């Protein structure tokens, strides 16, 4: 048992390391968060609606970029290994296919979790620096402007002096920097005066991100299943289609008669992404309740297991 666990950890660890060193994953995480924190600039003229638009946009960016990240990561770690023949070296060791497949899912999930962490922090910051009543959050904007320098200069310096890789360190610095900014801005008001911690941050966004995160884990499961056979562009295109249709799944299902097999099949195979979309639930003073999260969790688990099972069935007998 211990040896299997060690194998699993080794496989997952390698896959995670590889994913974190890829420029594409780095750029996706960075761009998703950058777009989020830039939203307040675009909504600065929307009187009274600015925070609402910021929240909606940041949640949308998290979902879309997370979907692309899941698709890319799944294909990079599974499909490309199959194509290049690297997988042969793994299977020449006493490693079962199921363990390999699950380790890949674990690696993609870790990457998605990291992305959700960064994106949540970015959403909190974006909401915080959104202008209200013509008030400009000088400290917040300055901190955000300083972020690229903090994220890139130290790793660049280390690369220059000691030839260390830039990307992994930049990612870590990025996550730490965003966290630090949330903590700082959570303790000061818009004029820069100290205030009770957590009073200046819209904490409702955290459960919202968590809810979306579950949808992203579902997408990761679908992506990995597709990646067992399909290449990156096709996988991401199918994921995008599933995402779009999942967001309007209720509307689509209503067009079919209630007790028909078609509707049953529809509901079974198409994930109800609408249930994980938190923007409507946050409208006004709404919130994401624990019961909603627990229901969503059960749904995501069940769907994810189903998707992974289908993916493993496709992968299990694949010949290389």
Partner 1 sequence: MSDSPHLIIEAHDLTKTFLDFWGRPKVHAVKGITLEIRPGEIFGLLGPNGSGKSTTMKMILGLLHPTSGHLSVLGQSPRDVAVKSRMGFMPEESYLYKYLTAVEILTFYANLSGLSGSVRKETVNRMIEQMGLQAARNRPVGEFSKGMARRVGLAQALLNDPDLILLDEPTSGLDPIACREVKDLLLNLADRGKTILICSHHLADMQDLSHRVAILLEGEVCAAGSVKDLLATPDLIRLTLPRPSREKLSAMLDYLERETGFRPGVDHTGRTLESVFIETVSRRRIAS
Partner 2 sequence: MSLLPLMAIARLTVRDAVRSRLLVSLAVILVIGLISLPLLISGDNTLNGQIQVILAYTLSFAMSILSAVTLWAACGGIASEIQDRRLYLVLTRPVHRHELWLGKWLGIAGLNAMLLSLTGLIVSAMIAFTLNVSPESAIAKRQAREHFLLARMTVIPVAPDFAEQARRDADALLQSGRLPAGVTARVVEAELIKRYQDRRYSLPPHGAITLDFPLPVSIDNGHDLILKYAFDSSRPERTPVSGEWTISGGQHDSLVMSVTNYPGIPNTVLIPGEWVRGAPSIHLTYQRLDAKNPATLLLKANGKEPELLIPAGGIAMNLTRGLLIILFRLGFLAALGLTAGSLLSMPVAVFAGFFIMTLLALSGYVETVASSGVFYVAHEGPAPTQTWLDAAILNLFKGLYGITRPFLRFDPVPLLQEGLRISWTVAGQAFVWLIGLYTTLTAVIGIALFNRRELG
3-state secondary structure 167-193: HHHHHHHHHHHHHHHHHHHCCECCCCC
Alpha-carbon distance of 1 to 42, in angstroms, equals: 54
Q: Which of partner 1, partner 2, none has residue 149 at its interface (CB below 5 to 8 Å by kind)?
A: none
**Token code pair at residue 168:** 């992994």
| 159 counts as binding partner 1 under rule CB under 8 A | yes
Is residue 263 a contact residue for partner 1 (CB under 8 A)?
Answer: no
For the chain, how far is it from start to end, CA to CA, in angstroms? 28
Which of partner 2, partner 1, none interacts with 160 (beta carbon under 5 to 8 A by kind)?
partner 1
Least separation in angstroms between CB 160 and partner 1: 6
Instruction: Check binding of 80 to partner 1 (CB under 8 A).
Output: no
Q: Which two tokens stand for residue 102?
A: 């699950």
For 258, the token pair is 């209630």
Which residues does 133 contact at the CB level (< 8 Å), separation at least 6? none
By beta-carbon proximity to partner 1, the closer residue of 149 and 160 is 160
Per-residue binder mask for partner 1 (CB under 8 A), 273-302, x = binder: ------------------------------
Q: How many CB atoms lie within 10 A of CB 197?
A: 11
Cβ proximity to partner 2: between 221 and 236 the closer is: 236
CB of 279 to partner 2, least distance (A): 20
161-180 positions binding partner 1, by CB under 8 A: 163
211 DSSP assignment: H
The interface partner of residue 135, options being partner 2, partner 1, none and the CB cut-off 5 to 8 Å by kind, is: partner 2
Kindly tell me which residue out of 91, 136, 149, 160 binds partner 1, with binding defined by CB under 8 A.
160
Cα separation, 43 vs 54, in Å, equals 7
Does the footprint of partner 1 cover residue 46 (CB under 8 A)?
no
Segment interacting with partner 1, rule: CB under 8 A, options 9-17, 24-32, 45-53, 159-167:
159-167
CA distances to 124, 170, 238 from 204, in Å: 9, 28, 31
SS3 category, 194: strand
Taking CB under 8 A as the binding criterion, the range among 38-46, 126-134, 155-163, 200-208 that sits at the site for partner 1 is 155-163
Q: Report the interface residues with partner 2, using CB under 8 A.
A: 22-24, 27, 31, 41-42, 44-45, 72, 131, 134-136, 233-234, 237, 241, 248, 251-252
Nearest to 176 by CA among 157, 204, 151, 205: 151
Q: Which residues bind to partner 1, rule: CB under 8 A?
A: 159-160, 163
């Amino acid at each position: 048992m211990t040896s299997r666990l060690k194998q699993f950890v080794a496989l997952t660890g390698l896959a995670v390391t590889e994913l974190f060193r890829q420029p594409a994953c780095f750029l996706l995480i960075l761009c998703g968060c950058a777009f989020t924190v830039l939203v307040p600039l675009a909504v600065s003229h929307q009187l009274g609606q600015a925070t609402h638009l910021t929240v909606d946009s940041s949640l949308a960016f998290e979902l879309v970029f997370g979907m692309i990240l899941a698709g890319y990561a799944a294909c990079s770690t599974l499909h490309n290994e199959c194509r290049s023949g690297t997988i042969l070296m793994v299977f020449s060791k006493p490693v079962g296919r199921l363990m390999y497949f699950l380790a890949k899912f674990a690696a993609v999930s870790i990457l998605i979790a990291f992305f959700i962490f960064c994106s949540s922090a970015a959403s909190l910051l974006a909401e915080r620096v959104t202008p209200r009543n013509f008030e400009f959050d000088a400290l917040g904007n300055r901190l955000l402007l300083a972020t690229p320098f903090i994220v890139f200069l130290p790793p660049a310096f280390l690369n220059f002096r000691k030839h260390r890789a830039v990307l992994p360190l930049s990612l870590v610095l990025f996550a730490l920097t965003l966290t630090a900014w949330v903590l700082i801005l959570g303790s000061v008001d818009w004029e820069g005066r100290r205030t009770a911690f957590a009073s200046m941050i819209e904490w409702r966004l955290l459960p919202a991100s968590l809810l979306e995160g579950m949808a992203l884990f579902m997408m990761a499961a679908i992506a990995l299943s597709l990646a067992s056979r399909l290449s990156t562009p096709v996988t991401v295109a199918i994921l995008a289609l599933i995402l779009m249709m999942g967001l309007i799944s209720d509307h689509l299902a209503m067009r079919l008669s209630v007790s028909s097999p078609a509707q049953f099949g529809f509901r079974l195979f198409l994930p109800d992404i609408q249930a994980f979309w938190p923007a409507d639930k946050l409208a006004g003073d709404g919130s994401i309740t624990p019961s909603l999260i627990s229901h969503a969790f059960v749904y995501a688990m069940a769907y994810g297991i189903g998707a992974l099972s289908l993916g493993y069935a496709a992968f299990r007998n694949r010949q290389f």
